[in-house]
């Protein structure tokens, strides 16, 4: 019988053989975020469509081409989240998190959805880790956010990843820059793609982020934003660089970075690498001081970043970075006979209560098949209990790596005998109370 249906294009299964890699990376991310004082936030997978239209920007590719939007039975327009910041910002306002004191620091691990061409490192369902700070205008907040992202890469052992930073100014100083861009691209109208032609009047900065080769070539000679930012934005950017220097975080200024979402202002940054081909941006973020106000709140300086987990795992793999394998079975107890099954089941439960990984047969295998399975799951030790062993009150434990065997009593002394040998051979630093 064939499989009824296969996974939807653009979505991937994370199988048991690989899930430990995700868990390890996520654990590193969580610990790093928490060391900076961030707490986890979990938001719904779908939101009202207007949230993303207002926050992400109606002229962005995300809103124009990539969102999964549908009408509910009640006639509401709902969208699967294409990114994490809008939902976090909505939750910050809706639950008045600012009443708990500023800044509010939150991190998230979530799935996002964008309808785009599925390829390595870019799926229609993908996973993001992000950190958000609300209520901090100081340049130290920008540097702290960048340091947090940098520290994650360091803890994972990632090499050859470059930090690129830029300032795209505020709403006031961007007016002159927008005018300069419009004048420049007006002279290349015949070469622009249809999407960029529609952006020309509404938001010419979006043309700088276009993936069309013709538009990318034109954008290379476009005016850069650093020549137009105001004094306050320039001073803020210089302070960000100063604090990055103090923290020994290497960076280079890339005046072409604009990021793909409309809510960004002032500082923007990306971590890029050349080890995974075209999908070189592994982490991106910056400041978005106008976002909370755009969503109906009071003016609130805000900033954050998002990191694609699929793409990060590709980097780790490309650089040959080994992720620690998960804990394997400490003791597999095979049984032969009805009374032996009961004794084995009891011991397995007690071993698990002592925080050890123990397994036994639950599919009705014969003794030989049980031992083959113990070897297949890389059990550290194995033990066979038969009805005769119960009568003798003794059984043999085998070290699966060395073949060494030792006997243990099948009574209250079993735990002491086994754990002492387990500690002696594998984890002497582990302390288990018996």
DSSP 70: E
Cα–Cα distance, 58 to 53 (Å, whole number): 5
Residue 348 lies in a domain: yes
Kindly report the pTM of this predicted structure: 0.89
CATH for 233: 3.30.930.10
* Closest to 257 (Cα-Cα) out of 228, 226, 288: 226
> Residue with structure tokens 């949230």?
51
Which pLDDT does position 423 carry in this prediction? 57
Strand partners, 359: 332
Residue 10 lies in a domain: no
Residue 311 lies in a domain: yes
Cα–Cα distance, 283 to 281 (Å, whole number): 6
Cα–Cα distance, 322 to 313 (Å, whole number): 11
Same domain, 40 and 96: yes
Count of domains forming the chain: 2
CATH for 344: 3.40.50.800
Same domain, 262 and 407: no
Same domain, 421 and 369: yes
Helix (H) or strand (E) holding 284, with range, is strand 281-287
Residue 178 lies in a domain: no
The beta-strand segments (E) located in 60-197 are: 69-71, 77-80, 104-113, 125-134, 162-167
- Domain final residue pick, 318, 348, 374: 318
For residue 177, what are its two tokens? 């820059």
Q: 430 to each of 23, 424, 427, how far by Cα in Å? A: 22, 10, 6
Same domain, 338 and 308: no
Residue 68 lies in a domain: yes
In terms of phi and psi (left: phi > 0; alpha: psi -120 to 50; beta: otherwise), the region of 320 is left
* Closest to 395 (Cα-Cα) out of 315, 308, 337: 337
| pLDDT less than 70: residues of the chain | 1, 57-61, 63, 121, 260-262, 278-279, 421-434
Domain that holds residue 414: 331-425
Cα–Cα distance, 142 to 240 (Å, whole number): 6
Half-sphere exposure of 269 (CA within 13 A, CB side): 32
* Closest to 419 (Cα-Cα) out of 403, 405, 430: 430
In terms of phi and psi (left: phi > 0; alpha: psi -120 to 50; beta: otherwise), the region of 346 is alpha
Same domain, 283 and 134: yes
Which pLDDT does position 429 carry in this prediction? 37
Same domain, 393 and 353: yes
Which pLDDT does position 361 carry in this prediction? 97
- Domain final residue pick, 287, 318, 349: 318
Please provide residue 299's backbone torsions phi and psi, each rounded to the nearest 5 degrees. -50, 125
Which pLDDT does position 169 carry in this prediction? 92
Which pLDDT does position 394 carry in this prediction? 92
What DSSP string describes 384-427? EEEHHHHHHTEEEEEETTT--EEEEESSTHHHHHHHHHHHHHT-
For residue 260, what are its two tokens? 């793909």
Residue 83 lies in a domain: yes
Residue 156 lies in a domain: yes
Cα–Cα distance, 344 to 332 (Å, whole number): 9
| Count of beta carbons in the 10 Å neighbourhood of residue 13 | 8
Residue 220 lies in a domain: no
- Domain final residue pick, 288, 318, 348: 318
Please provide residue 296's backbone torsions phi and psi, each rounded to the nearest 5 degrees. 105, 5
Same domain, 314 and 339: no
Which pLDDT does position 3 carry in this prediction? 81
Cα–Cα distance, 434 to 428 (Å, whole number): 15
Same domain, 88 and 163: yes
Cα–Cα distance, 144 to 36 (Å, whole number): 8
């Amino acid at each position: 019988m064939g499989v009824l249906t296969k996974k939807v294009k653009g979505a991937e299964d994370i199988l048991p053989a690989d899930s430990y890699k995700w868990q390890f990376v996520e654990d590193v991310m969580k610990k790093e975020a928490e060391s900076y004082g961030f707490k986890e936030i979990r938001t719904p997978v779908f939101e009202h469509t207007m949230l993303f239209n207002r926050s992400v920007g109606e002229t962005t590719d995300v809103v124009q081409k990539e969102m999964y939007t549908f009408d509910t039975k009640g006639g509401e327009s709902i969208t699967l989240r294409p990114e994490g910041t809008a939902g976090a910002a909505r939750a910050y306002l809706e639950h008045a998190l600012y009443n708990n004191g500023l800044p509010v620091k939150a991190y998230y691990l979530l799935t996002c959805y964008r309808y785009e061409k599925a390829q390595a490192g870019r799926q229609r369902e993908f996973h993001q880790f992000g950190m958000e700070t609300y209520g901090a205008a100081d340049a130290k907040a920008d540097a702290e956010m960048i340091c947090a992202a940098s520290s994650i890469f360091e803890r994972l052992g990632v090499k050859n990843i470059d930090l690129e930073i830029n300032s795209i100014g505020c709403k006031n100083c961007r007016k002159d820059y927008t005018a300069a861009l419009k004048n420049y691209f007006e002279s290349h109208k015949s070469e622009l793609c249809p999407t960029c032609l529609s952006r020309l009047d509404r938001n010419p900065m979006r043309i700088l982020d276009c993936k069309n080769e013709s538009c990318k070539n034109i954008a290379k000679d476009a005016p850069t934003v650093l020549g137009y930012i105001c004094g306050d934005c320039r001073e803020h950017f210089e302070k960000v660089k100063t604090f990055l220097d103090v923290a020994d975080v290497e960076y280079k200024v890339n005046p072409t970075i604009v990021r793909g979402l409309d809510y960004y202002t002032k500082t923007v940054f990306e971590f890029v690498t050349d080890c995974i081909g075209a999908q070189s941006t592994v982490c991106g973020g910056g400041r978005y001081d106008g976002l909370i106000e755009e969503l109906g709140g009071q003016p609130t300086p805000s900033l954050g970043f998002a990191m694609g987990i699929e793409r990060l795992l590709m980097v780790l793999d490309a650089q040959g970075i080994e992720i620690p394998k998960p804990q394997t079975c400490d003791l597999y107890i095979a049984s032969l006979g009805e009374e032996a099954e009961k004794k084995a089941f009891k011991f397995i439960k007690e071993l698990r209560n002592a925080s050890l990984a123990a397994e036994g047969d639950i599919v009705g295998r014969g003794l030989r098949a049980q031992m083959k399975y113990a070897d297949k799951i890389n059990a550290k030790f194995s033990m066979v209990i038969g009805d005769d062993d119960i009568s003798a009150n003794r059984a043999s434990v085998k070290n699966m790596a060395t073949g060494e065997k030792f006997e243990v009593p099948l009574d209250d002394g079993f735990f002491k005998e086994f754990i002492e040998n387990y500690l002696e051979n594998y984890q002497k630093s582990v302390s288990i109370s018996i």
